[in-house]
Amino acid sequence: MAQGAAGEAGETVEQRPTPAAPGAGGEEEMPRVLLTRRQIVAFGVFVLLVVGFLYFVLPQLAGVGTAVHHLEGGDKWWIAVGVVFELLSFAGYVVLFRSVFVVNAEQPGRIGWRESYEITMAGLVATRLFAAAGAGGVALTAWALRRSGMPPRLVARRMVAFIVLLYSIYAGSLLLDGIGLGVGIFPGGGSFAITIVPAIAAAILVGIAFSGALLADDLERPLGRWASGSSRHAQWIARAAAVPALAASGVRTAIALIRTRDPGLLGAPAWWGFDIAVLWAMFHAFGSPPPFTVVWMAYFVGLLANLLPLPGGLGGVEGGMIGAFVAFGVDFNLAVLAVLAYRAISFWLPTIPGAIAYFQLRRTVARWRDEQGTLSAAAARSGPTAPAGALQSL
């Protein structure tokens, strides 16, 4: 009956085998990047230059004077409210993670609240350290899920669904807020370039994502005919043919999850909403904020800088947000203060607990490995406990 219900929701339930020992077929190492001494030094210099430019050079060039040097002069109560908002944002992220990978995925039970926290916070650190829109965090999360015993194909499909659920809020915000500001429904105004253009881009991305779910099967069949064989080109084509099918399956899984009306899926808007609220609170801490619809739009436009090859978008996000606020007519000095204070909370504050969670996750995965080894050894000593026919009938 569970299979039939899931099929009606648009998702096919996979017959999942008993989780294999994490080390079976070769030990899968924790994703990491090997850095040379020169790369480490270059990264440190880059961070110092960006921070120095933002906090010392930029204020002088723009006439902000010494105000940025006194960020501690902001309203302490509003800064404290911003910290609380950031904690709620990450709580929403953890809840969404559990809804996608645990509650609605028939997870065997190895991932509890503690493990969910460790995986999400460790993924945060990977996202901060590596560029490419959080690819480091995705790789680390997928690795931890596989090590918990979840089949790789299920991990890939659920990971796509997780990204679709999370970034549909992003695209939907650009579309809704951009049109609202552009046509004058929302207060704040803004030019065509800063409102309608992002809305059009978001509409195109949403259309591509959901149309891909319908066309993926037709695209995979012709590629599949070319993928037969053992040549290098055939292997490459086979991998390419699997991409649209995986994307389509992930989108359908996301839709199926939405149809379940699981309250945990509200973690997606909570992740974005409370983080935006941090930026809004920082405007209150240093002056009078612009309309919330302007904060909403400038926030998402600025985050596009995460696509740049910069660690965590460092430097690019700050510049993008400040530029977006200036385009909306916000006072430059206030925008600089609010954005830098926001980034101090959202970027730097969670980094230390995230680094701790990274090492905690390594110990958790080692514990999973030991537990699985103990179970496998016990099963080998006890031997089969039921006739083969009985096992096949289960």
Give the per-residue pLDDT at 210: 77
Find the helix packing angle between 152-183 and 292-303, rounded to 10°: 130
Query: Per residue, what are the HEC states of the chain?
Result: CHHHHHHHHCCCCCCCCCCCCCCCCCCCCCCCCCCCHHHHHHHHHHHHHHHHHHHHHHHHHHCCCCCHHHHHHCCHHHHHHHHHHHHHHHHHHHHHHHHHHHHCCCCCCCCCHHHHHHHHHHHHHHHHHCCCCCHHHHHHHHHHHHHCCCCHHHHHHHHHHHHHHHHHHHHHHHHHHHHHHHHCCCCCCCCHHHHHHHHHHHHHHHHHHHHHHHHHHHHHHHHHHHCCCCCHHHHHHHHHHHHHHHHHHHHHHHHHHHHCCCHHHHHHHHHHHHHHHHHHHHHHHHCCCCCHHHHHHHHHHHHHHHHCCCHHHCCHHHHHHHHHHHHCCCCHHHHHHHHHHHHHHHHHCCHHHHHHHHHHHHHHHHHHHHHHHHHHHHHHHHCCCCCHHHHHHC
pLDDT at 125: 76
Q: Answer whether 316's CB lies under 8 Å from 306's CB.
A: yes
For the chain, list residues with pLDDT below 70.
1-73, 105-109, 128-135, 212-242, 308-315, 375-394
- pLDDT digits 0-9 by tens, 320-333: 899 999 999 998 88
329-335-339-340 Cα dihedral, nearest 10 degrees:
150
Return the pLDDT at 298. Answer: 95
What's the pLDDT at 277? 96
Evaluated on CA atoms 161, 165, 166, 168, the torsion sign reads positive
Other Cβ atoms less than 10 A from the Cβ of 17: the count is 8
Using a 10 angstrom Cβ sphere, with 0-12 exposed, 13-18 middle and 19 or more buried, the burial of residue 282 is buried
* Size of the chain in residues: 394
pLDDT digits (tens, 9 = 90+) for 283-329: 999 888 899 999 999 999 988 877 766 655 666 788 889 999 999 99
Looking at residue 388, its pLDDT comes to: 44
Which pLDDT score, from 0 to 100, does residue 81 have? 95
Q: What is the pLDDT of residue 198?
A: 92
